[in-house]
A and B are shown apart, each in its own frame.
Chain A
Amino acid sequence: MEKFFNIVQSVPLNHYILLSCILFSIGVIGVLTRRNAIVIFMSVELMLNAVNLLLAVFSVFRNDPSGQVFVFFVMALAAAEVAVGLAIIVMVYRNTSSIDINVLNKLKW
């Protein structure tokens, strides 16, 4: 484990932050531009995983385990969200035979 931490720390912290920001931005752009509910959902997962990566890296660089514990919470939450989210998407698909979010325009302002 000590050796692994040393390997992680051999890369400067800024590079990790930059990588996470790029991953997070890809996720945000995916949510904003895609029209398929499943793909939007995948983009959200990408955002969460960018956060997980950054949390793990901070945790190693600061020698503080609480960041890694937080990652477990995020993963558990992501699993719960997958369960509920896919159920909602299936429910919508049964009623509309589509998961394109442009179909969802009944409620308008």
Chain B
Amino acid sequence: MNTLIVISVLPIVLLYLGLYKAKNALLPVTIVGLLVALGLAVSQWNVDAQPIFSGMMLFDKYAIAFSSISILSTILILALSKEYFERISSHVAEYYAVILFALAGIIVMVSYHNLSMLFIGIEIMSVSLYILAGIKKTDFASNEAALKYFLMGAFSTGFLLFGITLIYGSSGSFDLDVIRDWALTHTAKTVDPMFYTGIMLMIVGLCFKVGAAPFHFWTPDVYEGSPTLITAFMSTTVKTAGFAAFLRLFSTCFASLADLWTPTLMVITVITLCVGNVTALYQQSFKRMLAFSSISHAGYLLFAIVALGINSGNSVFVYATAYTVASIIAFAVLILVQQQSGNDNFESFNGLGKRNPFLAFVLTVAMLSLAGIPLTAGFMGKFFMFGGAVAKMQIWMVIIAVINAIVSIYYYFKVIIAIYFRDAERAELVAPGYVNVVLGLSVVITLVIGVYPNLISNLIP
């Protein structure tokens, strides 16, 4: 709870700092504030959690774990932002403030205990992101991304709300516990058709938000058009929070009616995996490839919800952590490369291995982790996901997913080949110290989780 208060007050402080032209204080204050929020979240770990604010929020271990990973990834992304926003505009304080407002929405999203808080959290986050997608005011691609994201986001909110309303209409409450008790008194055969429609509409709304096919069509355009740093935020922190909210809803409320919605989600998962991976194969732009790869990773994350079990929370957590740190590395290197060559095609990475061995190494580790090669965190994430699905006897789903994982190796290795086996006459990239710190930390996390997954794989009871 204190975490949320700190993260809500911090952006207002930042706006005042911006007002009094204290530009150099912005980043340190943000990072210190977020570290305080992180500490407050972790200090609640052993407290027996009860719903607070009249049953609106519940800061249990699940919420704390996902809040922590969201705050950590935001810190890593903001550490990359030094001098990034200054190049876009002179009003820097607003960008930090809006990112933190989005983070406040994310904290609400992962710790809600009432459907109204789910809705409010998603909207605080989304409205902030509409602004962030369009922060390059004169850049046409950024404009287009903002408008597309806004129209699609508002559209999907309509579906989510209609779903919430129908569930309210049949169960009589927005509270997750009351809805769960209502669902327990019904079986898949006797359930109200209104409730069933409500679940389906909520799946549509949430799949829009996390970018799962067939509701993914906005993702590549928005990810490509937005400034790269914002894309990094959207595809890591926001996606993790979306899945945390998705899983919390389905594992708390609808687990007893799994027969109703599992077939729908299975179809969505398979389509998401295939669309994401196959389209990523023939992308020329690294940024757009990452956008499609984020769609395919949404497919792997959906496995946890399709094969809902006691370990779903843990597998989503491990997978999301692995995916987040690897993506942050990829986007950080992309920002540096983009500044030098002016575009984000694969050719821009040619010869990176000779010029910048460290950058080449970390990017290689990130690509291996995203592809799911052993000894990296990405492998452990996929391992837990598939393990859960096998335990639920969904063998053919796992087979399709493994085929897709093999396909994905092709486009991730395209980057590695460009780095080490293609040459280009370019000057050496100068990576600032703070970028190296972020990259080093991310690589260490990726490798440590890849070798000792037990460190984080049993956190959530």
Minimal beta-carbon separation of B116 from chain A (angstroms): 5
A-B contact count (CB 8 A): 118
In the complex, whether A8 has a CB less than 8 A from a CB of chain B is no
Asked whether, in the complex, the Cβ of B158 is within 8 Å of the Cβ of A88, the reply is no
For chain A, the bracket of interface size reads: 35 or more
- The CA-CA distance from A81 to B138 in the complex, in Å, is 21
In the complex, whether A91 has a CB less than 8 A from a CB of chain B is yes
Asked whether, in the complex, the Cβ of B151 is within 8 Å of the Cβ of A70, the reply is no
In the complex, whether A80 has a CB less than 8 A from a CB of chain B is yes
For chain B, the bracket of interface size reads: 35 or more
Specify which chain A residues have a CB less than 8 angstroms from the CB of B49 in the assembled complex.
none
Give A11-57 interface residues, CB cut-off 8 Å to B: 17, 24, 27-28, 31, 37, 40-41, 44, 47-48, 50-51, 54-55
Asked whether, in the complex, the Cβ of A40 is within 8 Å of the Cβ of B127, the reply is no
Give A77-101 interface residues, CB cut-off 8 Å to B: 77, 80-81, 84-85, 88-89, 91-92, 95-96, 101
In the complex, whether A5 has a CB less than 8 A from a CB of chain B is no
In the complex, whether B146 has a CB less than 8 A from a CB of chain A is yes
Give the secondary structure class of A's interface.
helix
In the complex, whether B60 has a CB less than 8 A from a CB of chain A is no
In the complex, whether A109 has a CB less than 8 A from a CB of chain B is yes
Asked whether, in the complex, the Cβ of B174 is within 8 Å of the Cβ of A41, the reply is no
Asked whether, in the complex, the Cβ of B169 is within 8 Å of the Cβ of A73, the reply is no
Specify which chain A residues have a CB less than 8 angstroms from the CB of B145 in the assembled complex.
107
Listed by A's residue number, 14 A-B pairs whose Cβ atoms lie within 8 Å are: A28-B158, A37-B151, A40-B151, A44-B151, A51-B162, A58-B165, A66-B116, A81-B150, A84-B127, A88-B130, A91-B146, A95-B140, A101-B147, A106-B225
Residues of chain A touching chain B, judged by Cβ–Cβ distance below 8 Å, are 17, 24, 27-28, 31, 37, 40-41, 44, 47-48, 50-51, 54-55, 58, 62, 64, 66-67, 69-70, 73-74, 77, 80-81, 84-85, 88-89, 91-92, 95-96, 101, 104, 106-107, 109
Residues of chain B touching chain A, judged by Cβ–Cβ distance below 8 Å, are 116, 119-120, 123, 127, 130-131, 134, 137-138, 140-141, 143-148, 150-151, 154-155, 157-158, 161-162, 164-166, 168-169, 172-174, 194, 220-221, 224-225, 279, 288
